[in-house]
Chain A
Amino acid sequence: MREALERFLASKMPTASAITVDGLVQHTEGFSLQTFSFDVDWREAGKACHRRLVIRRQPSAGLLEPYDLEPQFRALHAIADTPVRFPRVLWYEPDPSVLSAPFYVMEWVAGEVPLPALDANGTPPFADDARRVTIGRDFAEILADVHRIDIDVCGLQFLGRPRDAREAAQRAVDVWEGYTERARLGPMPMMTEALCWLRNNLPADGEVTLVHGDYRTGNFITSDDRIAAILDWEMVHLGDPMEDLAWAMSKIWRGESSRVGYLVEPEEFLAWYEQAGGARVSHDRLRFYSVLAGVKMAAIMLTGVKAWHDGRTRDMRMVFFDQQVPGMYAVIAEALGLIQL
């Protein structure tokens, strides 16, 4: 892989010479795209240069198949000049012969990725209260920045703009029903119930903005008590901003904690989001998207199980979901108001 990468970089950096790649590491965070980081050294205009970069490569099979990296690469490229903090993308390579699968290269952002789970010792993320609140506020404000991005100015129409929030919701239900049906290995009554409920309760109005699609604890890098970058834009699209809020606030990412992603209480989170210029919060639409959040996550898990079942991947991190899906059904049941967790 190292030599192939050096050849690729040489083709993208025509004024560079003596390009060498070192310290190539595959990261295990994230269950979808494969992530590698590496150091690149080169000479340019008589000077020695160095940079650390990241590759995000399409897996052979996985949680969000079928994969297409191009829309997220184009979207990230389009919003490069906005205040949203994320790793800047450099090059996209659709040709699978270069590194065995399509990939894109982005800058390395130093820091840590806090996970939405207790660690092996039972300690929650963000144990320090002051740090937790600072990062929580940052988390709400950056989401407001994402939703304030001007779709036309940034040229994001290629993502497909729904006419209104109702059509956005209809599309979201279609997308996740599609995932669910493609992953079907047997009866799924809870998914069917939730999808029926979603179709019967489509929101009547609301705005359409850029939607990150996977905005949550676990998908950002922290550094010096702030969020240095928002990661994992695989599900970026144009839709209802309540989709991101409901996803970020879902029980999925907070375990037994009442705090959004182990960070701050829901009321605080929504208030900071609105104060930072986010969309006006609609509790009806939040409820709709909290049901969709459970469906979305269960559909992702089922997609991984199906890929493993069909022999398209042997990654054991796809099949453990087979026994964890009922936990997601409980999240759906709570969002539907059937139980209280």
Chain B
Amino acid sequence: MLNLPELLQGVLDSLEADVAPNVTDAKSKAQLYACLDLLSNLAVKIDWKAEPLCDECDGIGAALRRAKLCIEGMGRRPEPLAGLAASIDTLFSEDEPESENRTASSAEPVDWFQRRRRYAGVFEELVRVAGAGAGMESEAERVAYAELRSCVHEHLVNQTIREALYLKPMRLSEMSKA
């Protein structure tokens, strides 16, 4: 997902440079410029809604906490498990306290987009570790890796369902046969 100011600026550039010169109907051109004006003003004031990003971080947080417990229960912690455990610790220790920063009045509002990136980055590390299944020697380790994979799957399923709720149908026909 791109960050919103960057996305909107690109859309504005594209509409202004490539679309507007080719719109010949005067009324449509007037409408397009009104949209451009509105979008350029909105672009400096809005950002991605916090709620879906927070929900994703909460889901990842739960998966990582479960994974951390599982790693701790394994006793032996060869790489890449030790590295993953350290990444989880770092993420949680650096994370802003959620309840204090969700309000608009807080002194330093949280950059939800960047926070989501940090969470997703560590979760991707968990996906890699769980997928590789490195260091599986004993039955206990095999069970532990199955638990790690279960953490991964649970979040992926929940996140897929959450994202599907926001998805609008693709306008493929209109874009292809304009």
| Interface positions of A (Cβ within 8 A of B) | 28-31, 115-120, 185-190, 192-193, 196-197, 199-200, 218, 305, 308-309, 314-317, 319-320, 322-324, 326-327, 329-330, 333, 338-339
Contact = CB atoms under 8 A, between A and B. Distances in A.
Nearest to A199: B131
Nearest to B121: A187
Interface string B39-80: 000000000000000000000000000000000000000000
A200 B175 CA distance: 38
B156 interface: yes
Nearest to B168: A323
A112 to B, nearest CB: 10
Contact of B127 (A116, A192, A324, A326): A192
B164 interface: yes
Nearest to B172: A117
B157 A338 contact: yes
26 contacts: A30-B176, A115-B177, A118-B169, A120-B174, A186-B117, A187-B117, A187-B120, A187-B124, A189-B120, A189-B156, A190-B160, A192-B124, A192-B127, A305-B2, A314-B10, A315-B14, A319-B11, A323-B1, A326-B164, A326-B166, A327-B164, A327-B167, A329-B160, A330-B160, A330-B163, A333-B156
Contact of A314 (B2, B18, B120, B172): B18
Interface of B: 1-2, 6-7, 10-11, 13-14, 17-18, 117, 120-121, 123-124, 127-128, 130-133, 152-153, 155-157, 160-161, 163-164, 166-167, 169-170, 172-178
Contacts of B170: 117, 320, 324, 327
Contacts of A115: 172-173, 176-177
B7 to A, nearest CB: 7
A319 B11 CA distance: 9
A316 B176 contact: no
A326 to B, nearest CB: 4
A316 B22 CA distance: 15
A320 B128 CA distance: 28
A196 B173 contact: no
Given A28-B177, A189-B123, A193-B152, A316 B160 contact: no
A190 B156 contact: yes
A197 B133 CA distance: 11
Contacts of A199: 131
B131 A197 contact: yes
A189 B167 contact: no
B167 A324 contact: yes
Contacts of B174: 120
Contacts of A316: 11, 14
Nearest to A341: B164
Choose among B120, B160, B164 the residue with the greatest number of A CB atoms under 10 Å from its CB.
Answer: B160
A192 B156 contact: no
A322 B152 contact: no
Contact of A187 (B6, B123, B167): B123
Given A28-B176, A117-B170, A314-B14, 9 more contacts: A31-B176, A188-B124, A196-B130, A196-B132, A309-B10, A323-B167, A324-B170, A327-B167, A339-B160
